[in-house]
């Protein structure tokens, strides 16, 4: 079953359960997926769908930061609930140690020696993450590793 089919099935379940948070969150994700498919003019593969879901997660995390600054606990709670719904559709996340080892092997494979090679490392690394870690998290570790060399 593709990721899109899982989302659609989960939406039907949320409708049956009358779960407003789950229903709203999945509808928003499916809406953004449909928009991306219309823009592309074709169906998206699971990797592209994962990227959209990760983008949704990132938007909600940023909204939480903004809500904290505005002292809005209601918005914080709402976004946290939506994040929990979206996490169910992502693959198991890499631990910090697993991510570190993946980055180390990629740096070694590419032959990166300094910060000017960061783009080469990220180009090879991002497809390997496959939604199991955020690009920002990986970027920070890569930057740290290349600065230490």
Domain harbouring 124, CATH code: 1.10.10.410
Are 77 and 142 in the same domain? no
Q: Distance between CA atoms of 34 and 42, rounded to whole angstroms? A: 10
Are 112 and 82 in the same domain? no
Q: What is the pLDDT along the chain (149 residues), one digit of tens a residue?
A: 788 999 999 999 999 999 999 999 999 999 999 999 999 999 988 888 988 998 999 999 999 999 999 999 999 999 999 999 999 998 888 888 999 999 999 999 999 888 898 999 999 998 888 778 888 889 999 999 888 76
CA atoms within 13 A on the CB side of 85: 24
Q: What is the CATH number of the domain that holds 15?
A: 1.10.1510.10
Query: Domain range holding 81?
Result: 3-87
Q: Distance between CA atoms of 28 and 20, rounded to whole angstroms? A: 12
How many separate domains does the chain show?
2
Are 10 and 82 in the same domain? yes
């Amino acid at each position: 079953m593709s990721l899109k089919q899982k989302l659609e099935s989960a939406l039907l379940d949320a409708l049956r359960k009358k779960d407003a948070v789950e229903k709203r969150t999945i509808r928003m994700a499916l809406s953004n997926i449909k928009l991306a498919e219309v823009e592309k003019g074709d169906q998206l593969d699971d990797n592209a769908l994962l990227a959209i879901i990760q983008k949704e997660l990132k938007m909600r995390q940023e909204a939480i930061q903004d809500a904290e600054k505005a002292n809005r606990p209601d918005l914080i709670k709402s976004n946290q609930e939506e994040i929990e719904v979206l996490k169910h559709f992502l693959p198991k996340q890499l631990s910090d140690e697993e991510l570190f080892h993946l980055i180390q092997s990629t740096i070694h494979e590419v032959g990166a020696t300094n910060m000017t090679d960061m783009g080469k490392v990220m180009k090879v690394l991002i497809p390997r993450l496959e939604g199991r870690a955020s690009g920002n998290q990986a970027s920070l570790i890569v930057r740290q590793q290349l600065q230490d060399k």
